[in-house]
Amino acid sequence: MNASRTWRGSDLARQIVVLSALSFMLIAAVIGAGAFGNSAVEDQQGGALDTDGSYLAPAGPAFSIWSVIYLGLIVYGIWQALPGQRTNPRQRALGWLIALTMTLNGLWLVAARFGTLFLTVVVIVLLLAALGWTFKVAVTTREPRGGVVDSVLIDGVTGLHLGWVTLATVANTAAYLTTVVPPSWEDAASAIGIAVLIVVALIGLAIAWRSSWRVTPALALAWGLGWLAVERFGGEPQSTPIGVTAIIVAVVVLVPPAVVSLLRLIRPSVD
């Protein structure tokens, strides 16, 4: 028998922990959506997390990406619980980390509902760090992938989660800073927003480069940036310079990994 496939007590524990983390995250998400008479996330923290909470908040439709991410995590949770995945080396390397990202995801919603705006920033930064590490392990581990399902539910879903939370961290931090900086700073809001978006472009390209140009983080990041532009053009607070910059950054972060992915489809030997 392959030693790496020998059953360990920690394997079952890992599967249970992943399902528990998934359940916690989903319960927090339902409450965060405004079920059971609670206010929705955008109405919490005095409305600071709404689309008009800062110059770097995306429009409401951007948040529909959570449906895709949650669906992917639900399917992953069910899939990893199958007996055939119990001793899978990839699950051993990533299951605990994915459970951590689910837990932090749920904790952010708890912080938004019961904590402070600053606490939401702390939690989302921790979530971003956990997702970055998880994605790094997913794309660099030498354990063989289990086909398309493995690639989609681990690399793909984690990549989407990472890309979206990258922009969400920027929006969340901007919302917090908007509540604490002097009102006079609004005169420089466009310049500051453009500078931040340039940093986002560098981060997006760095993620793509470090992951051998995987496209899913860029897709989620570009999606959020597109809706950020929509909100700055037609919403409040309005800023055409930030909107234009967001569109440029979306193109910058999406085109290189998209081109590499297309080339890989045409020529599978492209690294």
pLDDT, tens digit, for every residue of 187-199? Answer: 899 999 999 999 9
Residue 130 has pLDDT above 50, yes or no: yes
| pTM given for the model | 0.92
Count CA atoms closer than 13 A to 81's CA, side-chain side. 14
User: Could you tell me how far CA 76 lies from the centroid of its own chain?
Assistant: 16
Residue type, 137: V
| H helix or E strand, kind and range, residue 21 | helix 9-32
3-state secondary structure 75-107: HHHHHHCCHHHCCCHHHHHHHHHHHHHHHHHHH
Segment 199-232, tens digit of pLDDT: 999 999 999 999 999 999 999 999 999 999 999 9
pLDDT digits (tens, 9 = 90+) for 57-112: 999 999 999 999 999 999 999 999 999 999 999 999 999 999 999 999 999 999 98
Q: For 155-167, how does the pLDDT look when each residue is reduced to its tens digit (9 = 90+)?
A: 999 999 999 999 9
Q: What are the residue boundaries of the structural domains of the chain, listed by start?
A: 9-266
Quick one: pLDDT at residue 92? 94
